[in-house]
Amino acid sequence: MFDFIRKRINKTIKDASDAIPEEEMETNETDTEIEEKNDVSTGEKEITTDTEVSDDNSKNMEESEEDDKESGDDKEENKGMFSFFRRNNDSDNDDESKSSDEKPSEDIVGDNQVNKGEIVESGDADKSKDNDKEEKKGMFSFFRRNNDSDNDDESKSSDEKSSDNINDNNQVDKENVESIEMDEKSEEESESVEKSKETLDTEDVLVENPPDNIENNEDKKEDKGHFGFFSRNKNKEASSNQKDEKEEDKSDDDSGRFSFITKKTIKEEDIEDILEELEFSLIEGDVAFDVAERIVESVKEDLIGKKIKRRGDMELFTTNALKKAITEIIDNGYYDLLGDIEKSKEKGEPYKIMFVGINGTGKTTTIAKIATYLEKHGYSSVFGASDTFRAGAIEQLEHHANNLNLKIIKHERNSDPAAVAFDAVEHAKASGKDVVLIDTSGRMQTNANLMDEMKKIKRVSQPDIVIYVGDALMGNDATEQASKFNEVIDIDGIILTKADADAKGGAAISIGHVIHKPILFIGTGQSYDDLMEFEPEWMINQIFNEEAEA
Ligand SMILES: Nc1nc2c(ncn2[C@@H]2O[C@H](COP(=O)(O)OP(=O)(O)OP(=O)(O)O)[C@@H](O)[C@H]2O)c(=O)[nH]1
Ligand SMILES: [Mg+2]
């Protein structure tokens, strides 16, 4: 039923996922070059920032972490961190040709640059030991700096420190200057770190099976931070208000590779073209203009300002925003038909339903379907043949009555339809029937006489509920007609027929919203059982699930 809308919605979701260019989801290469070092002996990740990291940038990164803390994203972040290390350990382990003896002495020194969202590792396993030392000194000093800034945690053992391998060689960063000073001061300690590293097991030590000396750290909560880059951010206080600037983040992408993704805040310009196209698509798919506008506004409101932290976020946000917008549109209350019928029955009154609509929408067929439905729920019905206008209308209803073995109250053709309805109600009262189903002739909302006649039927028969029967194939016209009928006769609910033949689905989305009345049933075919109770969840599933039956 929703083929057209489903395709367009899915296109919108796809376009939205592609809307933020890859480059914008990555660290700014011109500002920051991140060098990653992978110490095989410990399985640690060492990340060296070799170029300038501006104060702003680092503040944003700090804020990013702070934000996450507040929003409870920490756990996810940390999980990501662990998988990062595990993955790198795994990739190290892949190197079967290396003996475990070799590994401890080998640093894969990444001249890695963050490039298009991935860390491209160009490890140089044969760096000289001197170089190694220098690197490690640097690495150590970085953590010294951070540890110091965190609490001057002098009590940390060198073992602990060995796991904090981040080297920041920033030239301009103020803190970095301090860091360089620290380098000199802590040269000795650095060497002890190296030694301690050599004593550690070779693989997965930090993540899968942390050695005792790390596991027993006095401050276990620090463990996560030890693994690198994040600890620096995590332990500092947030100090920036520039919330919609890019923020660095680490995350898994779908391919399972690790990537740096910048937090990107969705702005109107990122999505305006997509939403404009969505609006056209909805209108083309028979959604009423106002409803299409409202859906788009709601999605826009939802998306703007959202922060994308990892690939897939945009798709998720857009899907959720669309689902929310459409759910709001199609949720127009609930009419407890069976409950109301039961109440009438308890009072000893027949429950009266009047069916209205324009020509050929399926009123008469639907009456037969409803009688079938009611019978299944234990309620008896009687038909009132109030379409005295169209040739063959009475016979048509009579045919269904015979098929279903139900009583029909009929008068001559062209007789007063209101009188027929009245008689049908009287018959139900007299014979103890539970429900009276009143058929009326189809009429155009523009035909004042026929609209007046319809009002008279209502006045005389005093129905408990007036149901507008709309043809889904008529698209937005069905919605506009429902609006007019509602103005004249005050509709209580809607049955939308021919959903089985409607490939667009727009009328089903907007009709209830436009008249603020619920859809009770959907007609799904020409047989008596082709009637479905309307459930908003069903519709949402039809619209969003590509595997949903048409
Ligand atoms: N495919 C499909 N056809 C339907 C459905 N409901 C009704 N029809 C068909 O629509 C045609 C018109 O149905 P009617 O019940 O005569 O419609 P009506 O509103 O009573 O028509 P008028 O009395 O002339 O105003 C018939 O051929 C029905 O079989 C449905 O849910 N699906
Ligand atoms: Mg009819």
Q: Could you give all domains of the chain from N- to C-terminal order, each with its CATH number?
A: 3-20+266-330 (1.20.120.140), 26-262 (no CATH), 337-544 (3.40.50.300)
Closest approach atom of ligand 1 to CA 522: 31
Compute the distance between CA of residue 512 and CA of residue 494 in angstroms, rounded to an integer: 7
Q: Among 365, 383, 389, 445, say which to mutate for ligand 1: greatest number of ligand atoms within 8 Å of CB.
A: 365
Residue nearest to atom 26 of ligand 1 (CA): 362
Question: What is the Å distance from ligand 1's center to 223 Cα?
Answer: 70
106-123, pLDDT tens digit by residue? 333 333 333 333 333 333
Residue nearest to atom 22 of ligand 1 (CA): 360
182-206, pLDDT tens digit by residue? 444 444 444 444 444 443 333 333 3
Question: 496 forms bridges with which residues in the sheet?
Answer: 470, 522
Virtual CA dihedral for 203, 208, 212, 215, nearest 10 degrees? Answer: 130
Question: What is the Å distance from ligand 2's center to 483 Cα?
Answer: 20
**Contact call for residues 244 and 62 (beta carbons, < 8 A):** no
pLDDT of 339 over the 80 cut? yes
56-74, pLDDT tens digit by residue? 443 444 444 444 443 433 3
Compute the distance between CA of residue 525 and CA of residue 550 in angstroms, rounded to an integer: 13
Better-scored residue on pLDDT, 138 or 460: 460
Instruction: Determine if residue 358 is labeled as part of a ligand binding site.
Output: yes
Question: 248 forms bridges with which residues in the sheet?
Answer: 262
Which ligand does the CA of 358 lie closest to? 1
pLDDT of 128 over the 80 cut? no
Q: Which residue has the tokens 């001061």?
A: 185
Specify the pLDDT at position 20.
73
Instruction: Determine if residue 266 is labeled as part of a ligand binding site.
Output: no
Residues with CB under 6 A from ligand 1: 357, 359-365, 387, 390, 393, 441-442, 497-498, 500-501, 523-526, 530
**Contact call for residues 369 and 344 (beta carbons, < 8 A):** no
Compute the distance between CA of residue 113 and CA of residue 37 in angstroms, rounded to an integer: 11
Instruction: Determine if residue 498 is labeled as part of a ligand binding site.
Output: yes
Specify the pLDDT at position 17.
85
Compute the distance between CA of residue 546 and CA of residue 83 in angstroms, rounded to an integer: 31
pLDDT band, very low/low/confident/very high, at 21 (cuts 50, 70, 90): low
pLDDT of 295 over the 80 cut? yes
Question: What is the Å distance from ligand 1's center to 407 Cα?
Answer: 21
Which ligand does the CA of 357 lie closest to? 1
Specify the pLDDT at position 232.
33
HEC per residue, 88-121? HHHHHHCCCCCCCCCHHHCEEECCCEEECCEEEC
Instruction: Determine if residue 482 is labeled as part of a ligand binding site.
Output: no
Most confident of 76-90, 451-465, 535-549: 451-465
Question: What is the Å distance from ligand 1's center to 361 Cα?
Answer: 5
CA 374 to chain centre: 37
Comparing C-alpha atoms, which of 372, 447, 384 is closest to residue 416? 384
**Contact call for residues 256 and 310 (beta carbons, < 8 A):** no
Which ligand does the CA of 390 lie closest to? 1
**Contact call for residues 545 and 9 (beta carbons, < 8 A):** no
Question: What is the Å distance from ligand 1's center to 15 Cα?
Answer: 39
pLDDT of 103 over the 80 cut? no
CA 90 to chain centre: 33
**Contact call for residues 357 and 444 (beta carbons, < 8 A):** no
pLDDT, mean over the chain: 70
**Contact call for residues 266 and 20 (beta carbons, < 8 A):** yes
**Contact call for residues 385 and 397 (beta carbons, < 8 A):** yes
Instruction: Determine if residue 497 is labeled as part of a ligand binding site.
Output: yes
**Average pLDDT rounded to a whole number, residues 133-143:** 37
Specify the pLDDT at position 549.
52
pLDDT of 165 over the 70 cut? no
Q: Which residue has the tokens 């018959």?
A: 427
Compute the distance between CA of residue 271 and CA of residue 314 in angstroms, rounded to an integer: 11
**Contact call for residues 143 and 225 (beta carbons, < 8 A):** no
Comparing C-alpha atoms, which of 32, 373, 282, 278 is closest to residue 169? 32
Question: What is the Å distance from ligand 1's center to 366 Cα?
Answer: 7
Question: What is the Å distance from ligand 2's center to 366 Cα?
Answer: 9
Q: Among 369, 485, 497, say which to mutate for ligand 1: greatest number of ligand atoms within 8 Å of CB.
A: 497
Compute the distance between CA of residue 505 and CA of residue 488 in angstroms, rounded to an integer: 26
Specify the pLDDT at position 19.
78
Say which residues have a Cβ less than 8 Å from residue 511's Cβ, sequence separation at least 6: 288, 470, 478, 479, 482, 494, 496, 519
HEC per residue, 387-439? CCCCCCHHHHHHHHHHHHCCEEECCCCCCCHHHHHHHHHHHHHHHCCCEEEEE
**Average pLDDT rounded to a whole number, residues 241-270:** 56
**Average pLDDT rounded to a whole number, residues 202-213:** 36
